[in-house]
Amino acid sequence: MSHIGSYDERYKNFNWTIAEKELDYGNNSIYNIGYYCSDRICEKGLGNRRALIWQGFTGEVRTFTYNDIRIYSNCFATFLKEVGVRAQERVCIFMDRIPELYISFLGILKMGCIAQPLFSAFGEEALLTRLDDAKTRAILTTKKHIHKIRRLRAQLPELTKVIVVDAGDKPLENDEIAFDMDNVPNVDHFDIFKANRDVPSVLHYTSGTTGKPKGALHVHSSIIAQYITTKWVLDLTADDIYWCTADPGWVTGTSYGIIGPWSNGITQAVYDIGFNAQKWYAFIEKHKITVWYSAPTAIRLLMKEGTELVQKFDLSSLRHLISVGEPLNAEAVLWSEQAFGKPFHDSYWQTETGSIVITNYPGMKIKPGSMGKPFPGIIATVLDQQTFEPIRKPGSVGLIALKPGWPSMFRTYWNNKEIYDSKFKNDWYICGDRSSIDDEGYFWFVGRDDDVINTAGHLVGPFEIESALLEHEAVAESAAVGKPDPINLEVVKAFIALKPGYEPSDDLMINIMNFVRKKLSPLAMPQEIEFVDSLPKTRSGKIMRRLLRAQEWGEDIGDTSTLEND
């Protein structure tokens, strides 16, 4: 049963110390996230409670208690210390959704290092950019992905420890190190690093409009917001079996796929598989999932499969559904009520916010298509795009902005304070999205305020795609924009001017697409390429992506007075 009070009452009387008191945060001067997600749960007498039900793509199931999580994370922490990794060095996790990913994340934090989870589908160039920027010291990976890292080692002098968690009897190269979580002595006690509230904990990379991806740096006290939003928005209780479909290579997969549920002592299920409607429904039925946190892209794909498939499974265990990552269209909310007997509750937040900031709170009236209202403790508004002052008129579109000070707000962009500072105007944090607010205080998403492409809930930077395209032997100039897509919200479309001697063809188009896929990731691969003679530029030579984007979205192209050929 839900334990949530009314939204208005919660918002009016809220203080972040509510979460701190429930967590006993700072008791005995302990602030480390790793402790609160494992040791503390065991100290409460819940060590035998299931923490993780893991199912692999072959159907294999493994179960871990909180005591298992505590001991195995101690093993990871001890091992990192023994091989010479030091506190506050960056340790990357680069693997599929296997138990070692989730457990090593806590071990890295217990050691006092900064966890740097990266999406395992990243290609070599995307991986290199992020490891080089963070000056990553160690990486935890698997046999499946080790070849990517081997090809990059010479370009990453700071990366001195490559740890393979499933090496088995397979010989490793050079100075690579094997670590088998199941075949090392149990470490019942580990002296957890004495972090304070503001010690860095997690480094998540997010795409930007220009330049390389930016590392959003979070601190250990982020758990205060992640704990209470998990409890109140995801409505999790001790009896729930919770499933978050997000990969921990993205912030949802750490904030609400590790920290949030485990700090609440919840049993969570993980399925190491891509989207498959039939297998997803079978997973819910088999493990009796009660609370499900997914993405609009997945929901729209489920809609395509229809309600007939839903009816073949017993999904009666489901009691609460939440969505994240991109706008949830009204049709998806209405469809979920028809298919599951309950609506998906949209939630809005970002890598930089670290936790949910605007949401359809449980028990609150849902307006299909709306993002909902600010979470208690969050002061949110929309600002005029010129003056950066709050817009008072209901229905007027402005920049979504938050009053800084919530616990999970990122503290900087890694080695990029200038861009970090640019995100703040008139004592507001500017989210980079546009919205309106209706007369009841509900937020309605309008779109991005920059050129970042939101494809299937993942933000992809056009600069990174364009840089990869320019490395192809046939490409002289390139521009990447988002194009509307009924399932993924947006997909990447590339406009390409070819070098002399090359002619447009289907074979060349496929070759370029696969070139980008291998270098970056499947998400960054253009789904469409349009060959052009030249690209629209300003007189200073800057490509005007907004004109190309407006063309794809059927929008007004606006002022073209600075165009090179205008």
**Which pLDDT tens digit goes with each residue over 493-541?**
999 989 889 999 999 999 999 999 999 989 899 999 999 998 887 655 6
Per-residue pLDDT for 3 more than 60? no
pLDDT of residue 561: 41
Q: What is the pLDDT of residues 453-488, one digit of tens each?
A: 888 878 787 878 888 898 899 998 888 999 999 888
Mean pLDDT in residue range 27-47: 97
Percent of the chain with pLDDT over 90: 76
User: Domains in the chain, please, with CATH?
Assistant: 7-433 (3.40.50.12780), 453-553 (3.30.300.30)
Q: What is the pLDDT of residue 217?
A: 98
What pTM value is reported for the model? 0.88
Strand 398-402, strand 380-383: pairing? antiparallel
Mean of pLDDT values over 331-342: 94
Q: What separation, in Å, do the N-terminal and C-terminal C-alpha atoms of the chain show?
A: 63
Residue 447 in this model has a pLDDT that exceeds 80: no
The answer to whether the CB of 127 falls within 8 A of the CB of 159 is no
Tell me how crowded residue 507 is: count the other CB atoms within 10 A of its CB. 7
Supply the DSSP symbol for 155: G
Rounded to the nearest integer, the mean pLDDT of the chain is 92
Low-confidence winner among 292-296, 317-321, 486-490, 530-534 (lowest mean pLDDT): 486-490
Using alpha carbons only, give the angle 55, 60, 61 rounded to the nearest 5 degrees. Answer: 55
CB of 478 closer than 8 Å to CB of 454: no
Q: From CA 323, how far away is CA 327, in angstroms rounded? A: 9
- pLDDT for res 559: 47
Q: pLDDT digit string (tens) for 381-408?
A: 999 989 999 999 999 999 999 999 999 9
In 3D space, the residue among 440, 431, 444, 372 whose CA is nearest the CA of residue 400 turns out to be 431
562 has pLDDT over 60: no
Q: In the predicted model, is pLDDT for residue 81 greater than 70?
A: yes
Give the number of other Cβ atoms within 10 Å of residue 156's Cβ. Answer: 17
**Contacting residues for 285 by C-beta, under 8 A, at least 6 apart:** 313, 314, 315, 317
Mean pLDDT of 286-304: 93
Tell me: pLDDT of 448 over 80. Answer: no
